[in-house]
Structure 1
Amino acid sequence: MPDMIAPLLVLNQILTAGNTITAFSLLLYALTFNLRERVARSLAVLLACVTIVYFGDVLVATTHSPAEAEVWLRLQWLGISFVPAAYLQLSDALLAATGRPSRGRRSRLVGLSYLLSGLTLAGVAFSQLIAAEVVISESVVYLRPGPLFPLFSLFLLINLFLAGYNFWRAYKRCLTRSSKRRMRYLLAGSIGPLIAAYPWVMLGGSTLISQGVLFWGILIVINIFVAVQLVLMSYAVAYFGVEIPDRVVKARLFQWIIRGPFVASTVLALAVIVNRLAEMFGYENSRIVPFTTVASILILQYLITLIRRPVELWFFYGEDRGDVARLQLLEERLLTSGDLKQFLESILNATCDLLGSDSAFVALVGTEGLEMEVAVGSEDPLRGSKDLPPLMVTDNHKEFDLLGDVFSWDVFWLIPLRLTNPAEVIGFLGLHARGPVPDFTQEEEEILSTLLQRATIALTERKLQREVFAIVDRLVPQAETIQRIRAEARYAGSDALTAPVEGIGSEEELTEFVREALGHYWGGPRLTSSPLLGLRVVRRAMDEHEGNPVNALRATLRHAIDQVRPEGERRFTAEWMLYNILEMKFLQGRKVRDVAMKLAMSEADLYRKQRVAIEAVAETIANMERGAVASEEVVAQKME
């Protein structure tokens, strides 16, 4: 082999392995984030074909046995033979996504294409009609074309023509500038899988291989070109059907590529180059290769961590980068319930050490009085007291300059945690009393005052964050609805904007969504993000609840439960069983054991009855939704 070809061959092997990694990584991306979208599933099939072909090239390049090479070359046809059908399926899915679903003819053509692809694969696997014997020429190993190979090429050409026509129709149906731009990316990128998967060497044979340097140089350029094309296609398809903003799609794909195929391909390239250099200097199996691999992974991850966020803010978020930066700062600085508990525990421990007390607690002012937040010390911090003190403690107190009034209750001294603006008490810090009357030295009072201020600041911050979360709970369902409609309208046009929000597909799905929403009846993601928020009956109820979709869904569930309630005075009889389960388990939020004891049944029996009760609620909601749909149709007919 001429010295000039050797480095080109190594570079081509690196690029081939890199393209294998890239195609497989983008396949995983499509299967992870966009599997429900038909266009993404179709692209995943095409990427799977490309991955198999490139993986076969890698295996052939690393084997020295002609028999083994033939196995890998024929295995490649698992990807090659299905490329024509995958192209046609992708074009059909694109056309359907832009508002032109198949009326049956295109679907039948796709099915026929997959059948012919399967026959092609069988022909390669069990005969030499399409791919004949192995040919080894220079450093290239390939299968000689069989008598039916031109028929496969014709089959591919026909499917490419049909797919190209569908691609063009889909492009013409795009209405917005951004959708047209992304469709152009998709059209440009669609050439890549064809170039990567088609066995060009079988077509050209020895004529191509005899060119030597020119052949390998062209192959290197093609591999680079294919990598760019695959990323272009995946970028364009990443927007189909997703219910998140474009900036999030860009940032997510960017992270996926730089942390996945970029890092893996770079590490592989460095390992191969270092190994070849070591062999040139006479150090075979050098120990520097694993060190290079580890070091390159660490350095690349370090660099990505440094540049990722600035790059995302600058290139993907545009004028919104300030808002996004503030949200990211909130995420990092957020004071969670666990953080608050740890902070208050540290304050209570410091207080106990200061005053020589063996237990202490912090209680917050809630809607029904004081609620225990955190306690430290003995196993029973309240020393046998069954309840917290009443909210208004007025008797038996002593006033201090820095602490204000300190109350005595049971075996505790209670120090109010006060806000200055507005002036209100948000909780109490309780200390196990070291005497009948509160007594603090000047130094103890000063230190304790500082600790109380810090506890008050933390509780105030947590209270403010809860208010923010309450607002977010109201915003998220509406934002999700807007993003869903926006995703549908990106390529489908005005029909998606004017179409009603889809309801629930089946009775089983509806029952499951009702069960999840009831489980989070008083707050939680299964209520605030429930698909039931898209029902017409819920959207109607929003007018009665100041536009709050979560409260509207909660009211709809309550109304459906009331429909299950028998007439007359409430009793604990068999007739009232379903309603009592729903009311106590979900509306009151009681534990399963308590409900079972109240209704005099086993927990297993309670779960069975609960399932029946939820199905009854789901059926009621389904009837309410049918009524809402029917009334809308009547109104529409009258307007016509």
Structure 2
Amino acid sequence: MVPFLERINEILFAAVLIVSFSLLSYIILQNWRSDIVRALSVLLAGVIIAYSGDLLLARAQRPATIEFLGRAQWLGIVLVPAGYIHFANALLAFGNANAIAQRWRRSVYFAYLSSFIIFLLVVLGTNLVIHTGIPSGPIAQFQAGPLFWVYVIFFIIAMGTALLAILMVRRAALTPSQRRRLGYLGATFAAPGIGVFPFLLVASPSMLPVSVILMLQALASLIVIAMITVMTYSVAFQGVLIPERLIKQDFVRWWLYGPFVGIATILFIQAVPVMAQMLGLPAETLITFGVMVMTVLMPIFVTQVKPYLDALIYRQDHAEIDYLRNLPRSVFTRADLRTLLENSLVAICTPLQVKTGFVIAPGEDGFSIKAIWGSRREVRRLVSEHPIGDLIPRLEAMPYDASASLDSGSFLVVGSFCLLPLRSPDGMFLGAIGLEATTDQLRRNGGTSPEMRRMVTGLAHQIELALTTAQMQRQIFDALRGLAPEMQSLQRLSSRLEQTTPLTLATLDEDVVLHPEFSQLVKEALTQFWGGPKLAESPLIGLRSVRRVLAEQGGSPTQALQTVLRQAIANLRPDDQIDPSAQEWLLYNLLEGRFLRRQTVRDVAHRLAMSESDFYRKQRAAIEEVARQILLMEEHEYENSTGRR
């Protein structure tokens, strides 16, 4: 019975280690700037160190090794009470009980100093805190020294402090969601303490059978796994201004790919010796095959399980999330469009014995050649002799012919090419197909036959449908990008309202970035950038980033706002290695020329080779990018002022 329980405890020790390390990695990556997260990281690190010592002690044989490991794991044991006091202080600061938090701040430093002194007394081999008791056997432990009870009092005070802070912050929370999460935190905060406290120094093994002690250790490990998971989940929301559903989704995904896969692998490795004995095969062979199977099956299993877990997370938004999840498979991308255009050119040119063909279609920078089949040199020569900008008005002026037959005069002959206009069902010009052939050549090659007419007409209509779909998608995506600042503001407002306290509620109205017309305010400020009458009265004067640079600008709010706007535009400047014709450079050059250099719309549009109507469309996108940059700057200021993400 005892050997079986020892094996179970080893597995559970490894499980606690995997879960703790995974949760520590998750919470650090999620929101390291939060003081609450840093305190929780100390608690999880204490659990990791303590359980690492337990796992190694279970296999240690030499008394010297047992002595060293038993003393070294006290680094984790002494970190936990200091982490609890740190956690309590961070919670109070988060709940805006700043007066109490400031008074307790010194106690955090004192707690870490005390922990360091206790650990120093342990590792130096003194008997003041612990001394060697039972150096071997299934339960290798030490005995309590005279100062051990000082540590016990320190531990109890630390846990009581953390519980008191949780209750105080929960009482101040205004929203049901925040109170519920703090309730979870209050129910599970003791997990690190349960995991690391040296209970065997208080209760002698002679009081209980070894098998009972091992069963209690196993039960404690299971409790620690469940409680630290819920505790970390509760802390993951604190100070994070992103929607609850995203945090839940990230947490579940991390748990599946981290602790779940790790625990499954550990269970398999532990089962290998038993399987090897039953099958009469070497353990190394089973491990090789097992790793191969686990590597393939575990990702498949996680992929299959995840949609069901997402369904639990998104119970009310299940239909929308399912649609968005499948959207990448149904979107007609630019790569899909290019492939369709190229294949259509092959299908048209091959039976007509045409050596070169191309398709002109609209894009973000106006009409351009989107697909070529055959000689690129001939296409470049045609474009150099007859610029696309000159061909488009002539193609648009051609009468609309829905049949698009090859002998009806619907082609525009330019040089050695024939250009067939492409239009939407309502007659809107979409582009053109170019074929390197004259109408006589097309007629000689069978282009006037009924079968060829139907084929060309059908393919041309498919190209028209593809261009219409791509254009509609681009408009939808542009609209979504335009809504992004508003959606981000709403998400931030929802998260802040969810975590608000009476002291923070009054400051919400002062946060300019939460204004529903924030992008419009940025546009007005840029328009008045060089000292317009509305600049000094702009609500953007209240931005945290503006207040920060106010002193640097001689106390002038106008100059401070100009500095912030200039910095936001500078943040959009692409890397010099990026192609100068890229969209990023276009938006940056537009902002710099129009607002920083005070050039006219006509001058900027001419310099960037675009029409004035296209300029205003690009200007809207550029201003939205400036608004996003200011949002990022404000988030950075918010993090620095509150210690939150």
Sequence identity (%): 26
Of 69, 72, 75, which aligns to 2:72? Answer: 75
Residue correspondence of structure 1 range 397-416 to structure 2 within 5 A? 401-403=403-405, 405-416=410-421
**Structure 2 Cα separation of the partners of residues 265 and 367 of structure 1:** 50
Task: Work out whether 1:375 is the aligned partner of 2:372.
Answer: yes
**Structure 2 Cα separation of the partners of residues 63 and 453 of structure 1:** 77
Structure 2 unpaired stretches of 5+:
513-542, 553-562, 610-625, 635-645
**Structure 1 Cα separation of the partners of residues 62 and 508 of structure 2:** 60
Q: Corresponding residue for 1:448?
A: 456
| More displaced 10-residue stretch of structure 1: 160-169 or 507-516 | 507-516
- One-letter identity of the residue aligned with 2:394: V
Cα 1:396/1:8, change in 2 over 3 Å: closer
Cα 1:338/1:68, change in 2 over 3 Å: farther
**Cα distance per residue 1:590-637 (max 9 Å; x no partner):** 9xxxxxxxxxxxxxxxxxxxxxxxxxx99xx9xxx9xxxxxxxxxxxx
**Structure 1 Cα separation of the partners of residues 364 and 164 of structure 2:** 66
Q: Corresponding residue for 1:48?
A: 45
TM-superposed CA distance for 1:445, in Å, is 2.5
SS in 2 for 1:306: helix
Q: Corresponding residue for 1:183?
A: 182
- One-letter identity of the residue aligned with 1:516: N
| More displaced 10-residue stretch of structure 1: 262-271 or 129-138 | 129-138
Q: Corresponding residue for 2:570?
A: 515
TM-superposed CA distance for 1:20, in Å, is 0.3
Residue correspondence of structure 1 range 86-485 to structure 2 within 5 A? 86-102=83-99, 104-128=102-126, 129-133=128-132, 135-207=134-206, 210-279=208-277, 283=281, 285-313=283-311, 315-365=312-362, 370-385=367-382, 386=384, 387-388=387-388, 389-393=390-394, 401-403=403-405, 405-420=410-425, 422-433=426-437, 438-439=442-443, 440-442=447-449, 443-485=451-493
Query: Are the counterparts in 1 of residues 418 and 439 from structure 2 also a CA contact under 8 Å?
Result: no
Cα 1:419/1:6, change in 2 over 3 Å: same
Q: Corresponding residue for 2:538?
A: none
TM-superposed CA distance for 1:369, in Å, is 6.3
**Structure 2 Cα separation of the partners of residues 448 and 291 of structure 1:** 56
**Cα distance per residue 1:349-378 (max 9 Å; x no partner):** 333323222322211246986322222322
**Cα distance per residue 1:256-297 (max 9 Å; x no partner):** 111210111012112202323424676553522332333234
Task: Work out whether 1:503 is the aligned partner of 2:544.
Answer: yes
**Structure 1 Cα separation of the partners of residues 54 and 6 of structure 2:** 13
**Cα distance per residue 1:442-480 (max 9 Å; x no partner):** 233222222222222222221111111111112111111
Query: Are the counterparts in 1 of residues 360 and 370 from structure 2 also a CA contact under 8 Å?
Result: yes
- One-letter identity of the residue aligned with 2:171: K
What TM-score, normalized to structure 1?
0.77
Query: Are the counterparts in 1 of residues 586 and 608 from structure 2 also a CA contact under 8 Å?
Result: no
- One-letter identity of the residue aligned with 2:392: L
Q: Corresponding residue for 2:537?
A: none
SS in 2 for 1:417: strand
- One-letter identity of the residue aligned with 1:359: T
Cα 1:222/1:560, change in 2 over 3 Å: same
**Structure 1 Cα separation of the partners of residues 278 and 363 of structure 2:** 76
**Cα distance per residue 1:556-610 (max 9 Å; x no partner):** 97775157x8xxxx9xxxxxxxxxxxx97x99569xxxxxxxxxxxxxxxxxxxx
SS in 2 for 1:62: coil
Q: Corresponding residue for 1:578?
A: none
TM-superposed CA distance for 1:93, in Å, is 1.6
**Structure 1 Cα separation of the partners of residues 180 and 374 of structure 2:** 65
**Cα distance per residue 1:212-270 (max 9 Å; x no partner):** 22111111111111111011011111212223221221122111111210111012112
**Structure 2 Cα separation of the partners of residues 418 and 77 of structure 1:** 77
**Structure 2 Cα separation of the partners of residues 33 and 398 of structure 1:** 57
| More displaced 10-residue stretch of structure 1: 259-268 or 276-285 | 276-285
TM-superposed CA distance for 1:481, in Å, is 1.6
**Structure 2 Cα separation of the partners of residues 222 and 255 of structure 1:** 26
SS in 1 for 2:373: strand
TM-superposed CA distance for 1:69, in Å, is 2.9
| More displaced 10-residue stretch of structure 1: 105-114 or 303-312 | 303-312
**Structure 2 Cα separation of the partners of residues 14 and 516 of structure 1:** 51
TM-superposed CA distance for 1:151, in Å, is 1.5
What TM-score, normalized to structure 2?
0.77
Q: Corresponding residue for 1:27?
A: 24
**Structure 2 Cα separation of the partners of residues 525 and 62 of structure 1:** 59
**Structure 2 Cα separation of the partners of residues 180 and 555 of structure 1:** 48
SS in 2 for 1:408: strand
Query: Are the counterparts in 2 of residues 16 and 54 from structure 1 also a CA contact under 8 Å?
Result: yes
Of 85, 89, 94, which aligns to 2:82? Answer: 85
Cα 1:431/1:524, change in 2 over 3 Å: closer
- One-letter identity of the residue aligned with 1:196: G
Task: Work out whether 1:490 is the aligned partner of 2:501.
Answer: no
SS in 1 for 2:249: helix
Q: Corresponding residue for 1:610?
A: none
TM-superposed CA distance for 1:310, in Å, is 3.0
| More displaced 10-residue stretch of structure 1: 353-362 or 104-113 | 353-362
Q: Corresponding residue for 1:596?
A: none
SS in 1 for 2:143: strand
**Structure 2 Cα separation of the partners of residues 525 and 126 of structure 1:** 61
**Structure 2 Cα separation of the partners of residues 88 and 396 of structure 1:** 79
Q: What is the Cα-based RMSD across aligned positions, in Å? A: 3.5
SS in 1 for 2:393: coil
**Structure 2 Cα separation of the partners of residues 523 and 499 of structure 1:** 38
Structure 1 unpaired stretches of 5+:
529-552, 571-582, 591-616, 626-640
Query: Are the counterparts in 2 of residues 88 and 160 from structure 1 also a CA contact under 8 Å?
Result: yes
TM-superposed CA distance for 1:194, in Å, is 0.5
- One-letter identity of the residue aligned with 1:481: S
Cα 1:278/1:234, change in 2 over 3 Å: same
